[in-house]
Amino acid sequence: MTAFTRRSAMTMAAGSLAVGSLAAGSLATGASAAPLHRCEDLIDSIGVNVHLGHGGSPYVERFAACAAALDELGLRHLRDDIVLTGGEPAGQFARIAALAERGYRFSLVFYDGLTPGPRVPPERFAEFAGWAGGGLVVAEGGNEPPIAGRPDLPRLSADHQAALFRAVRADARHRSVRVAGPSYIQGNVAAAQDLAAVVDLANIHAYPGAEHPETSGGGSLARFVAAARPVFGPAPVIATENGYHTALATGSAHLPVSEGIRARYIPRLLLWSYLQGVRRTYLYELISSFDHGDGDPESRFGLLAHDGRPTPGFAALRSLVRLFGGGEAAGAPFAGAVEVAAPAATPDLVAARFARRDGAVLVPVWLGLDGWDRRSRAPRPDAPPRAVEIRLSQQPRALRLHRFADDGSVSVHALPPDRRVPLQVTDRLGVLEVL
């Protein structure tokens, strides 16, 4: 993570949703049907960055509290960088193995020596994988290597990546581990060599800056992906860093948002990334590693503040995971078709359908609008809600509407179990639960 805005961006605008149907679990806009989505796939697509090898950080000094916070979130995917200084990696891998025993799975960064910190030799892959106690699922190339700085650096980065790929493929015990490319950012992406033959996964750091998750501007997700294609070819994409910071006094080019706007954006960002085909998005980060004040972005990325206090963003993420991952098995699953009807002049409407393990159908719906004034560093006035009607082909047993708020809370409203469900949609996520 650096203090600059990552803007190489890719765009897949939601477009105008007039009358679309969600039949057999899939969303259709007009005549074009989208694929079925499963709640467990969404949950599996969410991860968070940690720093278990950074001595003096909350991750080390308060490891038990960090582990408890992870358990509370309900996620199972973590990203960390391998640290080869001081008493590490023995202590770091002891913590990784302890979390692996509890079911957590890791993407680990193998530094290439082009950024600060010791190079992690690819030849030691089998050793590190063994130390991880079965928790390693992704071996990742260098973190944001500054290869545009010298003509020889793109080749050095590529050589390290090729060596890592060979080492993983040569280890019969860990062949299920996938290899992700280096996370090139900004002008370094264009300087990179073609690595398509030595990656399983394309790697992006898709920070929108202070833009909203669905932006088609400089921070758009589509541009990040498009910029990575010449480097990684058609490989599936993971975003090993993404998120927002709340350092409102910063002079950095990576602009902030407020705590409330971040809580509004995080569920939308994760749903949007999943719906646009990003295999996994690792939020940056679990707990702020530093506390250098409101002028320092690195002190304000944490879902937990440096002192361990949960932020509204933490609460919003926890609520999203619990809603999509929970539910009690009761009665037959809802098998009817679902149709989302809205006026043609609703270009920012985003909707999808997810099938939950208990048979419920979840319909997340929101307006992909910009809620933050970057110049004044204050929330914009709320846009007027827009009318949408959810139409069901059969009578539901029950309907509940979950509305996410900027303080991280979620209100739940029981609705009449009708086949036509009128909703007022805003840029705060709403999820219709159909039972």
Give per-residue pLDDT as tens, 412-424.
999 999 999 999 9
Between 20 and 66, the higher pLDDT residue: 66
Task: Kindly report which listed range (54-63, 78-87, 262-271, 315-324) carries the lowest average pLDDT score.
Answer: 78-87
Confidence of residue 5 (pLDDT cuts 50, 70, 90): very low
Beta-strand relationship, 178-180 and 136-140 = parallel
Taking Cα atoms as reference points, which of 243, 252, 374, 399 lies closest to residue 311? Answer: 243
How high does pLDDT run on average in the chain?
91
Take residue 240 and report the two structure tokens written for it: 């090993």
User: In Å, what is the CA distance from 370 to each residue of 243, 278, 379?
Assistant: 15, 22, 9
- How many other CB atoms sit within 10 Å of the CB of residue 410? 20
Q: What angle do CA 30, 31, 37 make, to 5 degrees?
A: 90
H or E segment to which residue 214 belongs: none
Confidence of residue 117 (pLDDT cuts 50, 70, 90): confident
Q: Domains of the chain: which residue ranges?
A: 39-324, 334-434
Taking Cα atoms as reference points, which of 87, 86, 84, 85 lies closest to residue 108? Answer: 84
For residue 4, pLDDT beyond 90: no
Q: What angle do CA 61, 63, 66 make, to 5 degrees?
A: 120
| Segment 369-408, tens digit of pLDDT | 999 999 999 999 999 999 999 999 999 999 999 999 999 9
pTM value? 0.92
Helix (H, G, I), strand (E, B), or coil: what is residue 59?
Answer: helix
pLDDT at residue number 336? 85
pLDDT at residue number 19? 31
Enter the DSSP assignment of 194: P
What are residue 423's DSSP bridge partners?
388
pLDDT at residue number 330? 57
- Spatial separation of the C-alpha atoms in residues 156 and 351, rounded to whole Å: 44
| Segment 42-77, tens digit of pLDDT | 999 999 999 999 999 999 999 999 999 999 999 999
Sequence-distant (6+) residues with CB within 8 A of 187 are 148
The pLDDT of 204-226, averaged and rounded, is 97
pLDDT at residue number 209? 96
* Contact status, residue 115 vs residue 146, Cβ threshold 8 Å: yes
For residue 292, pLDDT beyond 80: yes
Enter the DSSP assignment of 310: B
* Contact status, residue 413 vs residue 431, Cβ threshold 8 Å: no
DSSP E strand stretches across 66-175: 77-81, 105-109, 136-140
For residue 24, pLDDT beyond 70: no
The pLDDT of 292-310, averaged and rounded, is 98
Task: Kindly report which listed range (53-57, 188-192, 260-264) carries the lowest average pLDDT score.
Answer: 53-57
DSSP per-residue letters across 326-390? -----SSPP-S-EEEE--TT-TTEEE--EE-TTS-EEEEEEE----EETTTTEEPPPPPPEEEEE
- Spatial separation of the C-alpha atoms in residues 128 and 136, rounded to whole Å: 9
Between 34 and 265, the higher pLDDT residue: 265
Question: What is the architecture of the domain spanning 39-324?
Answer: Alpha-Beta Barrel (3.20)
Among positive and negative, which fits the CA dihedral 224, 226, 229, 230?
negative
pLDDT at residue number 25? 32
Beta-strand relationship, 349-351 and 361-367 = antiparallel
Confidence of residue 349 (pLDDT cuts 50, 70, 90): very high
Percent of the residues in the chain that have a pLDDT greater than 70, as a whole number: 90
CATH topology for 334-434? Immunoglobulin-like (2.60.40)
